[in-house]
Amino acid sequence: MTNRLPALAASLLCGVFLLGCAQRVDQLVVLDWAGYELPEFWAPFADAHPDVTVDYSFFAEDAEAYAKLQTGFEADIVHPCSSWWGLYVENDLVQPIDTAKLSNWSGVHAELAQMGSFDGVQYFIPWDWAYESILVRTDKVAEVPDSWADLWNPQYAGHVALWDSGEANFAMTALSLGIDPWTATPEQSAQVQERLVEIKPNLLTYWVDYAEMAQMISSGDLWLASNAWPDAYGLLLDEGVPVEYIQPIEGRLGWVCGYGIAKGAKDVELAHEFLNALLAPESMAFLTNQYYYGAANADSIPLADPYVIELLSLDDPAILKQTIFYQTLTDAQRQFMTSMWDEVKAAP
Amino acid sequence: MSTRSEALLARPAAQLEVRQRITVLLTPPGLWLLLFFVIPLGVMALFSFRAASFGAQRQVFTLEHYQRFLADTSAQRLLWRSLLIALETSLICVVLAFPLAYFLSFRAGPSRLMLLTILVIPSWTSFLLRILAWKVLLGSSGIFNSLLLSLGWIEEAAPILLFSRGAVIITLVYIWVPFVALPIFAGLERINRHLLEAAEDLGSRPWQIFLEVILPLSLPGVLAGFLSVFIPTVGEYVTPLLVGGVDGIMYGNLVQDQFARALNWPLGSVMSLVMMLVVLVLTFGLGRGVKVTDLAGV
Amino acid sequence: MQASRARPLVSFGGLYFGLAAAFLYLPILLLILFSFNDSRTLVFPLREFTTRWYAELLHSPELLRSLGNSLWVGLLSSLVATLLGTMAAIAIVRFRFRLQGLFMAVSTIPLVIPSVVLGVALLLVFAQFGVPLSLLAVGIGHTILNIPYAMLIVAARLAGFSNHLEEAGMDLGLTYWGTLLRVTLPISAPALLAAFLSSFTTSFDEFAVAFFLVGTEATLPVYLYSQLRFPSRLPLVVALTALVMVTSILIVLGTEWLQRRSLSTRRRSA
């Protein structure tokens, strides 16, 4: 009897506030990176709700998504990466996720799940993750590097490219100096900046987008690409280009992005169902096969292409502990890293 | 210049009529610009005094970002460098585009609009892809290297021209030439062909006609072309990233990074306001000397 | 003057034009070539011939939809920009009014402002007034970018071509507005086309403004730019580009052919 009360209350409310009920949503707006809109990623949801259209709004930089939400863009689901999560929570842009409603939650790697939890409340479900490491054109180099610090090695002079990202370069350089990127003191930060300026004579260029970087490696002009992602590695291997994706002694960096439910989501239940569909092992296996990214849900591993799993050691339980994931940044940290990187680039 | 409207101005009734015409002509573009440009611009100008982009700090006003900009010598250096790059680019563009426009307007006959469009079509390809293609062509395994190698002109394949300040200028020229050809072409089209025939009949030589008639008359179009490259190129940021190499960064990259990465909109606003001011002063101030105002017939 | 003089088959100008066109089209030809190459990277030597990228393209509805969106945004925003720019140009060239200098300065500032700033500024203003982010918002942003170009191009055309023709039109009993429509605009047609082409081209490849203003419908550059994050999707993008290029060229050549044909039939019947 008691558990029928909420339903009764709901129907009563419906009668009074007719509008609220009529607004039974038939649309879900997802603020996402382009390329993530493939229906294979949420097939179970489409099966269960054929009447709901899923509309994507794309962004190219985390900052754009954040700015749009901050200025009142009405999305239901958002997909930022880990270094932005804290900012979303702090500014009240997302709402708690009830993981009990997610039947696929049990398989999610605890390390990744932990990153999306703030003060014990789950605000983001981790979804896609990948390494960042040095991609090496093995037939061009005399010696395959084994450390982030090797990017500075003059034997590669003129054939190294750094990613045009302050955050990535700060993290990578800090690691090469034995500094923790996320707790660096101002002195240590200054040290990182100085070290980055020193790398400039070694560089061919900075790389901006992945297609371009993969292109420069396959043409042979670029030997060492810093902070490359595993999809470029897989692609170049497929194309028969001799490349190696190294395991630096300081550890590979790793990014993880995840989905959150926006504060103004029209239908929170529906949003949960969508997240659950995203986490389905089949959806996540498709992600691994399609883009060579790691899947947050370990249950997807048996369903994914064994070649990819093996290539990237995705089934190694220790791998997540060895990977140094980007931590959430404060506004001040991000501004510092961007300005620092601009100063490095502008240094004569 | 417009003798009739000036004559009309003398009579009060006609004056009213002229005012009416001005109102009708100016109201739509004026309102549009006011709503969608002047107001946003004001919002941005206000932002340069805010302490932060979002949150409570947004309501705090400060001069901090101006101070920070004034202390930032590398930003000022980059602004200077961007101005130079823009100047070189637009001069080269005008020199290269003029013969194109001239050919189209005077020699291409009835096909000229078609040929003009043919020039523009490549620009409908994403800029990123065109640059990517050039990198393939100029890279060490590209066509040019293979050609030079097989001719024995070079010993070892290496990227040609890529990743330097020169590459930035060449790329910008490549992108802008069609855009400069457009206004010059439009300007040349207005030259009265009977005037040229008359000059010819009077025994002027072709180069005299070119120097004394065509060139002066084409100046407004040339200036329009020059400005339409120079002004936006100062704020360019994609080209330097893609082909500029290690030291290819321009002022626009700083602005872009503040807006789209650091989300430090106040500092970004300061930077863009400064740039705007410098470019406006240059074009309108210096412009008086070279009669930029001719451009709009004022 | 042109018809009266016999000209060599290949003139200097023609040669120069040909060279310039070759220079502009070289990367395009390369992309078309690679769109049939069975490899996910653009590297010589070429591999086997394939049409699979085109087949995959058909299964990328988002990509095709964004192409359609870009065409609409480009066409409509360029029309508006050309119209408004032309009105402003006529006012500036033909009349003297108070605050003329200010008006000119304001209407050229969009050229000076980095597009990203305009994007953010419009985002803030639209949010304030409750204008939803959408293709309409992107289109408005693009008109702002393009009005100065359109104005410059049309003004350059109007400046100097004396208004005797317009006066003649009015002497023949046309109203002022009738003269504008019947005399001024036809004379300015090449400039209007140039302004439109320039605007369309800018809009079709613009992403700095678009990124901040798109809603749930993406424009092509927005989608492409993000697609380049996935190197494996590059061939699709290349195939789409090749398709757009070939279609555009065919349309232009086709129009030219039709025009010539109608011209020659008219001559014959005359």
Buried-state track C220-242, b at ≥16 Cβ within 10 A, e below 16: bbbbbbbbbbbbbbbbbbbbbbb
End-to-end CA distance of chain A: 76
Q: Cβ contact (<8 Å) for A338 and B159?
A: no
Task: Look at the alpha carbons of A297, A298, A304, A308 in this order and tell me if their dihedral is positive or negative.
Answer: positive
Q: Identify the structural domains of chain B with CATH numbers, from first to last.
A: 73-296 (1.10.3720.10)
Rg (CA), chain C: 23
Nearest-Cα distance to chain A for B181, in Å, is 30
In terms of CATH, what superfamily is A25-129+255-325?
Periplasmic binding protein-like II (3.40.190.10)
Q: Is the pLDDT of residue B157 over 80?
A: no
The CA distance from C106 to A328, in Å, is 42
The predicted-structure confidence for A209-231, as pLDDT tens digits, reads as follows 888 898 889 888 899 999 999 98
pLDDT in tens, C153-177: 888 778 766 667 777 777 777 888 8
Whether A204 has a pLDDT exceeding 60, the answer reads yes
Query: Which residues lie below 8 Å from residue C171, measured CB to CB, with a gap of 6+?
Result: none
Q: What's the domain range around C205? A: 60-241
Mutation for B interface: A219, A223, A330, A337, most B CBs within 10 A: A219
Whether residue A7 has pLDDT greater than 70: no
Candidate CATH numbers 3.90.1170.50, 3.40.190.10, 3.10.450.50, 3.40.50.2300; the one for domain A132-251+329-346:
3.40.190.10
CATH 3.40.190.10 residue window(s) in chain A: 25-129+255-325, 132-251+329-346
Residue C75 lies in a domain: yes
Res A14 pLDDT > 80: no
Q: Which chain A residues touch B246 with a CB distance below 8 Å?
A: 200, 203-206, 345
Dig out the tokens for B271 from the structure. 């930077």
**Is C62–A34 a contact, with Cβ atoms under 8 angstroms apart?**
yes
A203 touches chain B (CB under 8 A): yes
| Residue at C123 is within a domain | yes
Q: What are phi and psi of A160, to 5 degrees?
A: -110, 140
**Number of domains chain C is built from:** 1
> What's the rounded Cα separation, in Å, for the pair C203 and C181?
27
pLDDT in tens, C213-253: 998 898 998 888 877 778 778 888 899 989 999 998 888 88
User: Which residues of chain A from 89 to 128 reach within 8 Å of chain B, CB to CB?
Assistant: 91
Q: Does C265 reside within a domain?
A: no
Least confident range from A19-28, A140-149, B117-126: namely A19-28
Q: CB–CB of C230 and A291 under 8 A?
A: yes
| Reported confidence tier of residue A16, pLDDT bands at 50, 70, 90 | very low
**Chains A–B, number of C-beta pairs less than 8 Å apart:** 94
Query: Taking the mean position of all CA atoms in its chain, how far away is CA B295?
Result: 15
Q: Which of residues 77-106 of C touch B (CB under 8 A)?
A: 83-85, 87-97, 100, 103-106
Q: C120: closest CA among B35, A88, A63, A81?
A: A63
CA distance B161 to A12: 73
Per-residue pLDDT, averaged over A144-158, amounts to 96
pLDDT category at C32 given cuts 50, 70, 90 is very high
In angstroms, the CA A343 to CA A92 distance is: 32
Answer yes or no: is C206 within a domain. Answer: yes
pLDDT at residue number B182? 86
* CATH code of the domain containing C78: 1.10.3720.10
- A155, A143 Cβ separation under 8 angstroms: yes
B195 pLDDT more than 90 = no
Q: What is the pLDDT of residues B206-256, one digit of tens each?
A: 888 888 888 888 888 888 889 888 888 988 888 898 888 887 789 999 998
Asked if C129 is an interface residue toward chain B (Cβ–Cβ < 8 A), one would say no
Q: What tens digit of pLDDT does each residue of A289-330 get?
A: 989 999 999 999 999 999 999 999 998 888 888 999 999 999
Q: What is the pTM of this model?
A: 0.85
Residue C37 lies in a domain: no
* A142, burial (CB in 10 Å: exposed 0-12, middle 13-18, buried 19+): exposed
User: What is the share, in percent, of chain C residues with pLDDT greater than 90?
Assistant: 26
> What band does A5 get if pLDDT is binned at 50, 70 and 90?
very low
For residue B184, what are its two tokens?
Answer: 């010059």
Residue B262 has its nearest CB partner, among A208, A212, A339, at A339
